[in-house]
Amino acid sequence: MTRAISLHDVSKSYAKGVRVVDRLSLDIGPGEFLVLLGPSGCGKSTVLRMIAGLEEIDEGELHLDGEWANDLPPSGRDMAMVFQNFALYPSMTSRDNIGFPLRIETPGEDPRPRVDATARMLGIEDLLDRLPAQLSGGERQRVAMGRAIARHPSAFLMDEPLSNLDAKLRNHLRAEITKLTRELGVTTVYVTHDQAEAMSLGDRVAVLRGGVLQQVGTPRDVYALPRNVFVAAFIGTPRINLLRGVVRAPLDGAMTISLGKQYLRLPEPLSLDHQLLRVQQGREVIVGLRSEAVRIAKPASARPGEVLITGLVEHVEFQGHEVLVHFNTGSRPAVVPELESPRPLRRVRRRRREGGTVLDRIRERAGALRAGPVVVLEDPADVGPDPSAEPVPPEGRLPGDLIVRTTPDIDLRQGMQVPLLVDIGHLFVFDQHGERICPAPARLPDLEE
């Protein structure tokens, strides 16, 4: 048996009225594997605990199979939870840990047949008589998963179950989780901050930022059409290149996006998405380029839709199967502080001045619809105590403003000037608030909402 889970405008607040989850609505179908993805502190685990009944819902409604379930106790929800820290009883063997919830639910029934069947499924038959202290981290997590599976629940709730394991073991258990959930066909809600886990596990991915749902969709859709700068920057390795630019759209010339010392010339005839950029004439925008949208090649080998810029090699990362090259193109990067600080800035709605134009009122209304800016165009590294001093990159920021993925057979050295071909067909453009404007959203915002 599996079940549908629906959240309708669910909110949760803690001390001092801080909302950790803000009006979240989400529908999870029977048998679906949904991943809640976001940085630490964005409300992922709180959402999971509200579904499980371990946290009260302050506002909104939870429906299980279409029935209102806000006040349903955890024992009545028929869900099994797998925790980050395993949560095994240290004085019990693996067999007793797996069988403990079965003895509580059905006191008169012998749990051994279900425990043995679960152990065979997970390949842990040899571990059933060992205590948790005698198990490795991966073995403990298998036992914890066995405790959840043996109950035959209608839903699995997994709270970062692999975060305490080493990389090799995480990859192995990730494949096992995928196989098991597909075989069992049980609705699964999986919480993680690791976008590699989210992309490889989930049927759909729900990206959270500061308790607000940013986007939900298949891993392919979320990667290929991020709704805003935050989603684009959070998903993808290496992180998407975000550059500050200005749209130039003269009536008698080619449309370009200035990147400071260089510019991207949009190929003619303009696509519909690029034609819509004319309304951004003279405005600052954020240009997004994934590392695979740029390649190192001579201008003569340019394909249709590729434009030329040049870059100065500042750093080369050898990854074995590939090389990540950091270039300085003379552009200024846009900063996404939410990737380090989880709470979004709240937009304070200003009182409209008398005599404001219709356009001013539309802009004010559109700004109030957003949860807050997801991008900062003024890089704190650009401002120091001495304006004449060289800017100091923020801690953790690698050199250069553009990262390009290439093959390991290309010999590049620091200081080389290299031609770069940018595929304009893979160009993202975001407005000053971080919302995607190119490719154009499938549905434009309704000002009456």
The string of pLDDT tens digits covering residues 341-382 is: 434 434 333 344 444 555 544 444 433 333 455 555 554 444
In contact, 238 and 291? CB cutoff 8 Å = yes
pTM exceeds cut of 0.75: yes
User: Tell me: the pLDDT tens digits for 316-347?
Assistant: 999 888 999 999 999 999 888 766 443 443 43
Better-scored residue on pLDDT, 394 or 179: 179
User: Tell me: the pLDDT tens digits for 58-78?
Assistant: 999 999 999 999 999 998 999
Residue 151's contacts (CB-CB under 8 Å, 6 or more residues apart) are 80, 101, 102, 105
Give the pLDDT score at 374: 59
Task: Mark residue 335 as left, alpha or beta (left: phi above 0; alpha: psi -120 to 50; beta: remaining).
Answer: beta
Give the pLDDT score at 393: 45
Q: Which two tokens stand for residue 143?
A: 């036992």
CB atoms within 10 A of CB 132: 20
Q: List the domain boundaries for the chain.
A: 5-230, 240-438
pLDDT-above-70 percentage for the chain: 84
Q: In Å, how far are 102, 122, 336, 433 from 175, measured between CA atoms?
A: 27, 12, 32, 38
Question: Which amino acid belongs to residue 161?
Answer: P
Give the pLDDT score at 357: 58
Q: Calculate Rg over the CA atoms of the chain.
A: 26
Cα separation, 174 vs 85, in Å, equals 17
**What is the b/e burial string over 304-326, where b = at least 16 CB atoms within 10 angstroms of the residue's CB?**
eebbebebebbebeeeeeebbbb
Give the pLDDT score at 362: 44
Q: Please, how many CA atoms are within 13 Å of residue 221, restricted to the half-sphere of its CB?
A: 13
What number of helices (H) and strands (E) belong to the chain?
10, 21
Fold of the domain spanning 5-230: Rossmann fold (3.40.50)
pLDDT above 80: residue 389: no
Least confident of 275-289, 339-353, 415-429: 339-353
Cα separation, 144 vs 280, in Å, equals 54
E strands in 402-442: 402-406, 417-423, 428-430, 436-438
Question: Which amino acid belongs to residue 255?
Answer: M
Least confident of 187-196, 272-281, 406-415, 438-447: 438-447
